[in-house]
Amino acid sequence: MKIAAAQIKPIKGDILKNIEIHNVLIEAAISNNVDLIIFPELSITGYEPELANQLSIDYEDPILNIFQKTADENNISIIVGMPTKADNQLFISSIIFQPERRRKVYSKRNLFPTETAVFSKGDHYCQLEIVQNKISLAICYDLSDPAHSQEAYQAGSNIYTASVLNSVNGIDDDLVKLSTIAQKYHMHVLMANFSGESGGYECAGKSSIWNTNGSLLGQLNDQDEGILVLNTDDNQIEKIYIN
């Protein structure tokens, strides 16, 4: 299986422009026979809590249909980040597009303290099965709750993915946590992060992938947009920048 972490510089609140950026990276993934590409937290809008309510959508909103079309036509699974609204609650969500399947949504279950006044917690675990792999999804602060990765392990996941916004001040701690998850549970671990600026943070980039022993296999730089691709069969890594 080939899985890719996408690193983008989001444009604040500009859904259509950010979709264009996503499409460029998805095309790069398709060209490299990727089975699954994962984008950072709230990638379609940027991490902008003060705008999230007005930008939020139902997860099945037609504005994201382009991703389902691409998934269907190219046999690729795509996970993007978006604020979603349901039952008058606002969520930080990953929206999941798989070939010829109805889209799914996973909403962040562990909120950072500054998010609790704006967002509600998701209430369900999410595991995907793609090319005989079981893949668990985390969104940023989820990875800081030991119970979250433990649940992934107990469910039989062999890949753990984290869509994040990590700042230059916060990334080092999370790199250690993700390496530890990989080592403890013998899972491949993948992190997709922003570069540039979002939500008032200077984003750290450095989207990363670890092997099942917790060793870092590859990492993008701290500035450029691109994808980091893992072949799970042989632990080979490809770095593809689009700038």
State pLDDT tens for residues 50-88: 999 999 999 999 999 999 999 999 999 999 999 999 999
> What's the token pair of residue 130?
């793609």
Question: What number is the average pLDDT over the span 158-175?
Answer: 97
Residue 180 is predicted with a pLDDT of: 98
Q: Which residues of 5-40 are buried (b: 16+ CB within 10 A; e: fewer)?
A: bbbbbbbebebeebbebbeebbebbeeeebbbbbbb
80-109 pLDDT, tens digit each: 999 999 999 999 999 999 999 999 999 999
Give yes or no for residue 238 having a pLDDT over 90: yes
Question: What number is the average pLDDT over the span 113-135?
Answer: 97
Residue 84 is predicted with a pLDDT of: 98
Residue 97 is predicted with a pLDDT of: 98
Question: Can you identify the CATH homologous superfamily of domain 2-241?
Answer: Carbon-nitrogen hydrolase (3.60.110.10)
Residue 37 is predicted with a pLDDT of: 99
Rounded distance between C-alpha atoms, residue 23 and residue 21, angstroms: 5
Rounded distance between C-alpha atoms, residue 220 and residue 236, angstroms: 14
Rounded distance between C-alpha atoms, residue 128 and residue 217, angstroms: 23
